[in-house]
Structure 1
Amino acid sequence: MSDVFEGYERQYCELSTNLSRKCHSASLLSDEEEKKEKIVEIKSGIDEADVLIRKMDLEARSLQPSAKAVCLSKLREYKSDLNQLKKESKRVSSADAKQSTREELMESGMADPLAVSADQRERLAMSVERLDQSSDRIRESRRIMLETEEVGISIVQDLSQQRQTLLHAHTKLHGVDDAIDKSKKVLTAMSRRMTRNKWIVGSVIVALILAIILIISYKLSH
Structure 2
Amino acid sequence: MTSLLDTYESEFKTTYDRGVQLLSSINLTSGNSNNNNIVLKQVENFKDDLIELIQQMELEVNSIGNTAIKIKNKTKIRNYKDQLTKNIKIPLDKLTNDNLNNQNRDELLSLNDSDNNINSEQRQQLLQSQQILSKSSNKLRDASQIANETEGIGAEIMLDLRSQRETLENARQTLFQADGYVDKSIKTLKTMTRRLLANKFISYAIIAALVLLILLVLYSKF
TM category (shorter chain) comes to 0.3 to 0.5
Instruction: Give the TM-score normalised by the residue count of structure 1.
Output: 0.47
Instruction: Give the TM-score normalised by the residue count of structure 2.
Output: 0.47
Q: Relative contact order (C-alpha < 8 Å, sep 6+): which is higher? A: 1
Q: Radius of gyration: which is bigger?
A: 1
